[in-house]
Amino acid sequence: MDKIRKAGKDQKGFTLVELVVVMAILVLLAALAVPKFASVLANARGDANDTNLIMLQEAVDLYISSENAAKADMDDFDDLIDKEYLKEMPGPPAGYTAYTVTDGVVGGGEAESP
């Protein structure tokens, strides 16, 4: 019996039970964290889209008032970039449609349905 006890004390490492307990804890933490992360990511994309729409509408309004342009003359965002009302065109966040401008009103940016 003493030989068995001594042999067990010389071995180093983890038992299978200890590894299974640690894996179960990690799976539980991941199950709690992943949905929260997905929710935060979706909210961030929605906020980024809303901010882009506001910024684009302000640039369109400034362009129309400064250039004395009719709202119907504005078909795309190229004039805003050419005349430096926008430094660059922001792209919609992942999962959102492209931005459009029609009669001076910025549209698009709707969430794509899965």
Q: What is the pLDDT of residues 45-69, one digit of tens each?
A: 999 999 999 999 999 999 888 888 7
Is 83 in contact with 74 (CB distance < 8 Å)?
Answer: no
**What percentage of the chain carries pLDDT values higher than 70?**
86
Reference 90, options 98, 82, 47, 10; nearest CA is 98
Domain coordinates in residue numbering, the chain: 16-108
Is 94 in contact with 87 (CB distance < 8 Å)?
Answer: no
Is 77 in contact with 101 (CB distance < 8 Å)?
Answer: yes
Is 99 in contact with 109 (CB distance < 8 Å)?
Answer: yes
Residue 102 amino acid letter: T
